[in-house]
Structure 1
């Protein structure tokens, strides 16, 4: 008969093997992801360069200027890596990962700046310290990337007012 300690040691060893296999898989996927991101980056730079050259040529009265359609940022779903692009003209919240998009969509119609503790229940999370602090981190990232502003500490609002509205008034979605 096997002792309880021996059984626990066997289960621990099996769990350790599973964890090591998963970690090896994650390392391989991370390496592949880095390679694909590099290829994507090179293609994006090439497209932007070609677009600039064509725009310059169009200014020199080229017979038929070629216009390139601006691609939509691809949706990346990777556990542990969230892509929050810097805001630029023409981007909508649709390019953001789900939780970031939810945050922007909650703040956009607000009559004034909002705090993380006001946003958490509106995006479907329980109002507990961990979720509030996690959301605050996401709000800070959205500020860094130009999607939101933090005029007062802890109070967040959309970075751009809707044309035709007064200061502090933002569009309803």
Structure 2
């Protein structure tokens, strides 16, 4: 017969072995996670850089050749959506509103014409959308993006 102390020591040894095994699993998963985060970060940076270069090269009416993978070259023209490209480029000297997608261009024109700070709920009907919550919130997001990218300034929150 096994003593109670010996049984507890045996169970402790099994538990210790499971803990060590889990620690090794955690270390391996942590290492894999760091590698995947690094790959993700590099892909994100590459996508953003390519989108900026395309924006710099392009402009209204400009067609920019794009190579996708190892396939043939395609041509991106106005109105063509490039997946992962920044559709609202950062504002810089010499860049006109013509590079913006239609709805963003309409928003900038409405705010510019008003000559005073406006709220999203005031802009929505002026760009031809129904004044419903979903459209107001969508426009608010677009306004925030335009402010973030330097096309508009926010006088005070919501304006």
Deviation, 1:43, is: 10
- The residue aligned with 2:98 is 94
Q: 1:144 to 1:109 in 2, by over 3 A?
A: same
- The residue aligned with 1:117 is 121
Distance 2:133 2:51 in 1: 41
- The residue aligned with 1:140 is 144
Does the 8 A contact of 2:52 with 2:89 survive in 1? no
Show structure 2 runs of 5+ residues with no match. Answer: 1-42, 63-77
Show structure 1 runs of 5+ residues with no match. Answer: 1-33, 49-69, 156-173
2:50 matches 1:41: yes
* Higher gyration radius (CA): 2
The correspondence of residues 9-20 of structure 1 with structure 2, limited to 5 A, is: none
What TM-score do the two structures reach when normalised by structure 2? Answer: 0.51
Q: 1:44 to 1:122 in 2, by over 3 A?
A: same
- The residue aligned with 1:24 is none
More helix by share: 2
2:92 matches 1:72: no
Deviation, 1:78, is: 2.8
Deviation, 1:42, is: 9.3
The correspondence of residues 143-162 of structure 1 with structure 2, limited to 5 A, is: 143-155=147-159
Q: How many residues are aligned here?
A: 96
- The residue aligned with 1:169 is none
Deviation, 1:151, is: 1.7
